């Protein structure tokens, strides 16, 4: 019995069909947008793809004057700076989220939570300026400075999301663990971390996504030198930074398309990282996890 | 109801269109943006003509000019013959103002530093690594230079400033010419990159032992010490408005009729060697008579009345005799 008796069954069916079609089209717009993005990028990058081929990914030379281009130092810089950021931000973020959600009973946690969210709202150029004057003298303009600034930027993402995840773990889990005689640490390990695993991974992935694509703050402290160095105190360069830096003044076609090809590589890296993370989540917790 | 709204909207479109009058669109170099916006503002006050200038960078300006999406372009680097052909073959370079690229450094206690072209090239090539290297100390007798590593700072973004700086080094150093070359973005043999003049200024400010090249106005407003450079005549000259104008005057004898000259390493005892011109790009044959007329009038105004606004903004005005020649080129624009 429909809520409105004047609507016949037939009308109801056509309306449902319409609704299904329209929402399907809306949903379709997302993969379509992605496809369009890739098509346009590949089209723009064709001159560079034709000239350099696969060697583009493995070459370390980036010389706009002689028009030889290679992406390896930028790929390396992007991956390593993001890795440094994760190494610093994951324990800090999870630790603070755990304190806010599970450990603390004092009023102070509400203020702390607000401050974490505030950190997420600071524009990246502010982080960059701060980085120049604080991290620069400390670690030099280097891979480490870039990694640290990224860590600070993704920390609120990881902390805020994992706090929500911890809080949504049903109390009954914790109570059961306590009832079985678990210590507080055992309770957290078994009854909070266990069920929240996929949510935590999700928080880390979101943080990593931001780190891979961050442009402004990183370029201000990383030294912008396309070189692969074993030392994290040496200057480096990332994919997003070089595109932002050089796009406006790139005048030749090859130069421009090489920059676009860097964009494709960045897109692929983020897609692969996200895909791997998705696999990891499915593998560890199964597809029917509550989060 | 719907018709009423449509009529209202149409009326609005016509009204705003009429009140805006003529609008010229330009895009290009960031280096002259402060003076161009001053000109545009002053010119609009007296004539009512609206000019939109977007400082998207010289490369972007050339692209937009070639594509014909703007009425004029602006660039710190002259077009190549190839680029002129692509832009329709009738692109004129109209010099507007000049600027100096200052070499700034951070060495506490050292307020005067003299360098010559070979030493400067050696530093930026990464061959001279310490401040007390003999090449530097021999040029600075009596100056106490520390046993400190040199940190080279350069632009990470493509820029006309880099183009002027590298054009100079490629001209005076064969090692630089063969290894690095000249352009808006380079494969740097040494140092770290800062984004924009402000980025390089920041690197110099916070790192003791740093040296970098920035537009003169940035060195002055940030009160950074600047290197006194040895010019072609063998004299040591500080970057200033006067020494930049002197460079243009020194280069004027060899100035080609299309003004596509670089004035780096110019002749003349008072010339600062790392100076550059910036150009507005305009088609000789204007498609739109009304817009063409407005553009010519704006260019004439900026080459006469407008030049007085250059010095307060730390640009060097064009020397008198060059201005007369540029004016002839502006007059040659057909509309």
The ipTM of this complex is 0.76
pLDDT tens-digit series, residues A38-94: 999 999 999 999 899 888 999 888 998 888 999 999 999 999 999 999 999 999 999
Taking one residue from A and the other from B, the number of pairs with CB-CB distance under 8 angstroms is: 90
| pTM of this structure | 0.82
Closest CA of chain B from A245, distance in Å: 4
Interface test with A, best of B33, B54, B59 (most A CBs within 10 A): B59
Phi, psi of B263 (to 5 degrees): -105, 25
Q: Which of B148, B116, B154, B151 is nearest to B135 (CA)?
A: B116
Q: Are A226 and A73 in contact (CB under 8 A)?
A: yes
pLDDT at A193: 83
* Residue of chain B with shortest Cα separation from A134: B206
Domain boundaries, chain A: 62-285
- The pLDDT, as a whole number, for residue B1 is 53
What's the CA gap between B36 and B85, in Å, rounded? Answer: 27
Q: What is the pLDDT of residue B6?
A: 56
- When CB atoms are compared, the residue of A136, A245, A250 closest to B156 is A245
Q: Can you identify the CATH homologous superfamily of domain A62-285?
A: MetI-like (1.10.3720.10)
> Which band of pLDDT confidence, cut at 50, 70 and 90, is reported for residue A285?
low
Tens-place pLDDT, residues B237-293: 999 999 998 898 888 878 888 898 888 998 889 999 999 999 999 999 998 888 999
In chain A, the residue whose alpha carbon lies closest to the alpha carbon of B161 is A249
How far, in Å, CA of B122 to CA of B110, rounded?
20
Instruction: List, as own/partner pairs, every contact residues B166-169 make where C-beta atoms lie below 8 angstroms and the sequence separation is at least 24, other chains included.
Output: B167/B262, B167/B264, B167/B276, B168/B101, B168/B117, B168/B264, B168/B265, B168/B273, B168/B274, B169/B117, B169/B120, B169/B121, B169/B124
- The chain B residues in contact with chain A (CB within 8 A) are 56-60, 62-63, 83, 156-160, 180-188, 191-195, 199, 202-203, 206-207
Average pLDDT over residues B135-145: 93
Mean pLDDT of the residues in chain B: 88
- Which residues in chain A touch residue B59, judged by CB atoms under 8 angstroms apart? 248-251
Q: Give the minimum alpha-carbon distance from B155 to chain A in angstroms, rounded to a whole number.
A: 9
Q: What is the 3-state secondary structure (H, E, C) of A216-284?
A: HHHHHHCECCCCCCCCCCCCECCHHHHHHHHCCCCCCHHHHHHHHHHHHHHHHHHHHHHHHHHHHHHHH
C-alpha A75 chain-centroid distance = 16
Could you give the domains of chain B? 13-98+274-331 (3.40.190.10), 101-253 (3.40.190.10)
- Tokens found for residue B322: 């060059």
Strands (E), B63-215: 72-75, 91-105, 114-115, 151-155, 192-194, 210-215
């Amino acid at each position: 019995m429909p809520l409105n008796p004047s609507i016949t069954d037939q009308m109801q069916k056509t309306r449902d069909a319409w609704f299904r079609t329209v929402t399907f089209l809306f949903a379709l717009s997302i993969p379509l947008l992605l496809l369009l993005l890739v098509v346009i990028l590949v089209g723009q990058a064709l001159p560079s793809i034709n000239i350099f081929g696969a060697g583009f990914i493995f070459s370390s030379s980036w010389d706009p004057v002689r028009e030889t281009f290679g992406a390896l130092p930028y790929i390396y810089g992007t991956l390593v700076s993001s890795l440094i950021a994760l190494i610093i931000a994951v324990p800090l973020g999870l630790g603070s989220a755990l304190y806010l959600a599970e450990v603390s009973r004092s009023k102070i946690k509400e203020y702390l939570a607000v401050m974490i969210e505030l950190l997420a709202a600071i524009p990246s150029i502010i982080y960059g300026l701060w980085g120049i004057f604080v991290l620069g003298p400390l670690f030099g303009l280097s891979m480490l400075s870039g990694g640290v600034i990224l860590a600070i930027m993704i920390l609120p993402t990881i902390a805020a999301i994992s706090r929500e995840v911890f809080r949504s773990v049903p109390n009954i889990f914790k109570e059961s663990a306590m009832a079985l005689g678990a210590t507080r640490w055992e309770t957290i390990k078994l009854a909070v971390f266990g069920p929240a695993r996929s949510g935590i991974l999700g928080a880390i992935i979101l943080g990593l996504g931001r780190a891979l694509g961050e442009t402004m703050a990183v370029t201000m402290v990383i030294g912008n030198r396309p070189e692969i160095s074993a030392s994290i105190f040496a200057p480096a360069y990332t994919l997003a930074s070089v595109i932002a830096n050089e796009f406006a003044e790139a005048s030749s076609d090859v130069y421009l398309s090489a920059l676009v090809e860097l964009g494709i590589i960045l897109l692929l890296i983020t897609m692969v990282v996200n895909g791997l993370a998705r696999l990891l989540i499915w593998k560890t917790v199964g597809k029917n996890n509550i989060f | 109801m719907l018709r009423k709204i449509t009529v209202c909207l149409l009326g609005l479109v016509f009204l705003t269109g009429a009140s805006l009058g003529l609008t010229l669109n330009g895009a290009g170099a960031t280096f002259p943006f402060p003076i161009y916006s001053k000109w545009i503002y002053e010119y609009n006050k007296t004539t009512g003509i609206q000019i939109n200038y977007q400082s998207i960078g010289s490369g972007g300006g050339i692209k937009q000019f070639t594509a014909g999406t703007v009425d004029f372009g602006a660039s710190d680097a002259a077009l190549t013959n190839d680029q002129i052909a692509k832009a329709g073959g009738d692109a004129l370079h109209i010099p507007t103002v000049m600027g100096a690229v200052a070499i700034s450094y951070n060495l506490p206690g050292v307020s005067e530093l003299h360098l010559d072209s070979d030493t400067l090239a050696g530093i930026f090539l990464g061959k001279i690594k310490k401040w007390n290297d003999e090449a530097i100390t021999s040029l600075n007798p009596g100056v106490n230079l520390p046993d400190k590593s040199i940190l080279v700072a350069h632009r990470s973004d493509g820029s006309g400033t880099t183009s002027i700086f590298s054009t100079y080094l490629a001209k005076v150093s064969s090692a630089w010419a063969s290894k690095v070359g000249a352009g808006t973005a380079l494969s740097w043999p040494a140092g770290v990159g800062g984004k924009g003049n402000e980025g390089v200024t920041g690197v110099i400010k916070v790192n003791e032992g740093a040296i970098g090249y920035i537009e003169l106005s940035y060195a002055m407003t940030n009160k950074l010490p600047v290197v006194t450079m040895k010019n072609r005549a063998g004299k040591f000259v500080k970057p200033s408005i006067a020494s930049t104008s002197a460079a243009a005057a020194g280069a004027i004898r060899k100035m080609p009729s299309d003004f596509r000259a670089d004035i780096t390493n110019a002749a003349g005892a008072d010339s600062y060697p790392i100076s550059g011109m910036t150009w507005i790009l305009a088609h000789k044959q204007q498609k739109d008579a009304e817009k063409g007329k407005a553009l010519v009038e704006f260019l004439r105004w900026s080459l006469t009345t407008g030049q007085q606004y250059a010095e307060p903004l730390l640009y060097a005005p064009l020397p008198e005799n060059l201005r007369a020649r540029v004016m002839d080129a502006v007059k040659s624009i057909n509309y």
